[in-house]
Structure 1
Amino acid sequence: MRWLIWLSQHFHLLLLFYSLFTSSSSSSFASTLKPLRSQDQQLALLHFKQLFTFSEFASYDCDLLGYQHSYPKMESWKKGTDYCSWDGITCDRVKGNLIGFDLSCSWLQGTIPPNSTLFLLSHLQYLNLAFNDFDFSLISSGFGQFTRLRYLNLSGCVFSGQVPLRLLRLSLLASLYLSQNHFVSLETFVVRRLAKNLKMLRELHLDLVDMSSVSLRSLMNFSSSLTTLSLFNCELQGTLPVDIFRLPNLLTLTLTSNIELRGFFPLVNLTSPLRFNSLINWGPHESYSNFPPI
């Protein structure tokens, strides 16, 4: 009798899992998903919570760098309570859909599998998982299913491997943070695809991501909407094309600690409103006189 009671209580979640697992092998997975009802969104969140243990050390860098005070936000997630009131959750006030998800610095220790119920939250516009420990796992291609997403922060998440191409389908994305994932790498064709697809991108932060094999010419393809490009210690090599300083809306360019990078700051004919450049430590063969202050 108990199993019948349990089944009635979890029927929606079982249907949700069935939909997820039967669709996960299909390339059209994202297009087959239907928006979740409120109850299903809560169950998806509770199942996502079960993927992790809480460890203060998992968000150690968050406190060390002064990003924000870390604490286990998901401890407030309790069944039978309004999930829109849970820590880190923002809902649409009209329809109750989950549109904001901020679990940055939340002590999360574990991995996010490709069939995670996280990827069923199709209304998300803001997603921040920065400074948790995902144990050197790959960045799931499931992140590419959030077609409404405008802000994505996966900085300091202990990911590894290549950035998945499906992540570059997020055509509405305005801010992308992948910094401080020391074991994540980017190839030239990925950078070119990123520049081609993300036409609304304004902020791109790739500090400490391995870009040693990236052709510097591919950086010239970024959208004119780009205002911030941060490439601190990305192992960039070669001569930086001078035209990067002429991106029309670029305000901040960070290139510090790329010791194999060479280039010259243009003295005249700047069409960019660039006001701040971190160019110190570009390379051992450049004199700072090549980079006049701005």
Structure 2
Amino acid sequence: MTSDIWHQIFNYDNYGELLFLVRNSLIAGAVLGLVGGVVGTFVMMRDLAFAVHGIAELSFAGASAALLFGANIAVGSLAGSILAALVIGALGVRARDRNSVIGVLMPFGLGLGVLFLALYKGRAANKFGLLTGQIVAVDAPQTAWLIGTSAVVLLALAAIWRPLTFASLDPEVAVARGVPVRILSPLFMLLLGLSVAVSIQIVGALLVLALLVTPAAAAMRVTASPGLVTLLSVLFAVTSVLGGILLALGSSIPISPYVTTISFMFYLACRGIGALRARAGVTAGRVA
């Protein structure tokens, strides 16, 4: 029994032949890791981890609706993400209000998604893939759409990088200095919605946090420099996605457990390093 389970998790028969099938997925995974690592930095700075989950639920509902009615799943996912981002950005100005809005949206979006999937009579793999991700269904048009959307997100972030960083680290001082904080907030929510939408296709709706939150959370455990946090976050995210794809290819298990496990291991390692540094700093202070 144990050997059968292990064979399901790790099975590298004909691995070289299968590797060719996920060429587009590897490209998409690298792009998603880049976007997730960069966007995740601002997600953590602005305390929007809960918002990622809320947007993912509406994105899942949109993708499920598209699957049911025979529309483009990527477009449905994008529509759901943008709608959620706009609602959260418009109604949730303060942290308490924002969390309340997200708490209302999440079960509503999940319920709609489950309803649409229950009505869908097609392949079960399509239903499962929306929740947990899939690696062999990423074709050339989807890859092109993903790269194009990701480029829009990255270019927009590059254009507002400095004021957004300032507003994320100290919003009150940013307002006093004339930074358009009220404009930057909904704009970033829109970019976050786009990022969630492109991530759904690979890692699934339920585990998108592993791409947009965990890598940046890990990086912040070892450094306080915004630039270094971004670099480490991108490194962790890209490694998690590509590593997850390569491991999932040699098994019958979906990609998501591998991505989340690698991402979580990065977090544990960085948390341990941070704890050791803090302990060393306390010891040095006592000696001094």
Identify the TM-score tier after normalising by the shorter chain: under 0.3
Larger Rg: 1
Report the TM-score, using the length of structure 1 for normalisation: 0.23
TM-score (norm 2): 0.23
Looking at both structures, which has the greater relative contact order when contacts are Cα pairs under 8 Å and sequence separation is at least 6?
2
Greater strand share, 1 or 2?
A: 1
Q: Which has the higher helix share?
A: 2
